[in-house]
């Protein structure tokens, strides 16, 4: 079965990464993950046009999610990004200022997340499902 798109997950909690990985794998997405902002950016740079969407945590070591969003959006303004903030943290406005397309608060409702991913990936002009590619 053709993949629905390639996603990059950046989060310093291996529990969250594993949960998202399992859930989105079952939804037929191709996935890559990193446990901090710097590794996430390096992974993205290895295939800048290959990713259809990024999901990033906000509070992380070295480069925060806000930094990740600013850096990735400067490289690819059309890249859809979903920011996830921890309960009781206050960087939502920063994530929005940094132009995250969607900001979700933990605990994440997976159905809502799936809906956002699906909408953003389809809306993105850069995205072409594999079966429509020449």
Binding site for another protein (CB under 8 A): 12-15, 38, 41-42, 59, 61-64, 66-67, 70-71, 74, 86, 89-91, 94
Q: Which is nearer to another protein, 53 or 63 (CB)?
A: 63
Smallest CA-to-CA distance from 121 within 83, 85, 79 is with: 79
Q: Are 93 and 49 spatial neighbours (Cβ–Cβ below 8 Å)?
A: no
Q: Which is nearer to another protein, 3 or 42 (CB)?
A: 42
Q: Which is nearer to another protein, 2 or 42 (CB)?
A: 42
Least Å distance between CB 47 and another protein? 16
Q: Which is nearer to another protein, 88 or 125 (CB)?
A: 88
Cβ partners under 8 Å of residue 96, min gap 6: 103
Q: Are 65 and 10 spatial neighbours (Cβ–Cβ below 8 Å)?
A: yes
Residue 6, strand partner residues = 30
Cβ partners under 8 Å of residue 45, min gap 6: 75
Least Å distance between CB 43 and another protein? 12
Least Å distance between CB 36 and another protein? 9
């Amino acid at each position: 079965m053709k993949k629905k798109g390639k996603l990059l997950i950046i989060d310093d909690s291996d529990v969250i990464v594993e949960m998202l990985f399992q859930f989105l794998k079952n939804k037929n997405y191709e996935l890559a993950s990193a446990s901090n902002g710097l590794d996430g950016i390096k992974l993205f740079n290895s295939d800048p046009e290959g990713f259809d969407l990024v999901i990033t945590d906000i509070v992380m070591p070295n480069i925060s999610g806000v930094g990740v969003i600013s850096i990735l959006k400067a490289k690819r303004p059309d890249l859809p990004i979903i920011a996830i903030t921890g309960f009781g943290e206050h960087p939502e406005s920063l994530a929005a200022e940094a132009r995250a397309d969607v900001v979700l608060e933990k605990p994440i409702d997976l159905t809502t997340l799936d809906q956002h991913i699906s909408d953003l990936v389809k809306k993105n002009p850069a995205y072409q499902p594999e079966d429509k590619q020449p």
